[in-house]
Structure 1
């Protein structure tokens, strides 16, 4: 899911810090000082502390009271654990959504894949990640299952850095074709086929681990 449209100052701080971690501006293991972040973001320390607590729940930040706060290491097993859950939820969403796909859904998926392609052409991993979110969000919305959406929102942050790495490499080009095949499956209203293709699409992230 996309982390935009935030409301509170804490949500704003979490969104900006999360983006910095995903882009690698805050590297794995980097120490985080709330006072410095607050000054950089133009906020007080309170919303920054709220943001860091949220990011700790998401697995992007770790802390020890009166000792340290730092970006978590990008270790394979925690990311793999989260990835298999996210992968399964997106696959399930596709299976449920495909038989109900509308012409507007297909148009939205095609537009998202075009934006994804353009972002890859421009070597813009951030834009590619946003476009990929838009593509997969169509099925998540159409399936109408709030538990699927909540689970995806809960575990996606852990895999964000791996997604960014993937979309920074030429190998990401393969996803354009995979997206096209997913669109074809949805156009045929074939839930099983769509689910299988979505599962294959997300499995490519394992190559980054």
Structure 2
């Protein structure tokens, strides 16, 4: 029997609740009860409570002691603030990464963009979001900058619902072309163009606000 540690249970709970919020299964303002969630997830209340604390830190859940725990409203200002930071960090990451990229990295970006297009063709926004993550993750890994990575991890959750909304619409197809342009700039070693294109790609999320 495989042992699943407490930390893993908390991470599993956080991942499942986060996905439900991002997809809109748990809409903004929806009350959250840890007992009901624990039963639904087949977990004890402790990892679920800790998962909700994580999601509160991420800005997806808000809690008032002895009053409520609920999904946060999708408010424009904090989301816009987070998007500006995430957008800037991804642009910086790819600018740093381009000189370090190998042929394998370029291949990984192409594969991720192919998976992204396939997910969009299948109208699967969740799969598209995962493929888009993998596409941008190549540059983040290659840049090898802990501060960039930590900042992206910290503020990305706030823009997740924008991303899911974007990838649920026909407008998302344009991102496939933008990704291809980024790949071509990386292949040519043009870090400035790659960074500018990444910035442009992330800026399209502002339309969802």
Whether 2:61 is the aligned partner of 1:61: answer: yes
User: Per the alignment, in what secondary structure is the counterpart of residue 174 of structure 2?
Assistant: helix
**1:113-192 paired onto structure 2 within 5 Å:** 113-192=113-192
Question: For this pair of structures, how many residues does the alignment match?
Answer: 204
Partner of 1:156, secondary structure, is helix
SS in structure 2 opposite 1:8? Answer: helix
Q: CA deviation at 1:7?
A: 5.1
Structure 2 residue aligned with 1:39: 39
In the alignment, what sits opposite 1:3?
A: none
| 8 Å contact from structure 1 (residues 105, 138) kept in 2 | yes
What do residues 19-52 of structure 1 show as CA deviations (whole Å, max 9, x unaligned)?
A: 0000100000000000000000001111110000
TM normalised by structure 2 equals: 0.96
Match of 1:105 in 2: 105
d(CA) in 1 for partners of 2:11, 2:116: 26
Whole-angstrom distance in 2 between the partners of 1:100 and 1:184: 15
Name structure 1 gaps, 5 residues minimum. 1-5
Indicate the SS of the match to 2:29.
coil
* Whole-angstrom distance in 2 between the partners of 1:89 and 1:141: 13
Structure 2, unaligned runs of 5 or more: 1-5
Is 1:79–1:158's contact at 8 Å kept on the other side of the alignment? yes
CA-based RMSD of the aligned residues comes to 0.9
User: Normalization by structure 1: what TM-score?
Assistant: 0.96
| Other-structure match for 1:17 | 17
Cα distance between partner residues in 2 of 1:116 and 1:44? 35
CA distance in 2, matches of 1:101, 1:197: 17
Query: Alpha-carbon deviation of 1:190?
Result: 1.0
- CA deviations on 1:122-145 (whole Å, 9 max, x unpaired) are 000000000000000000000110
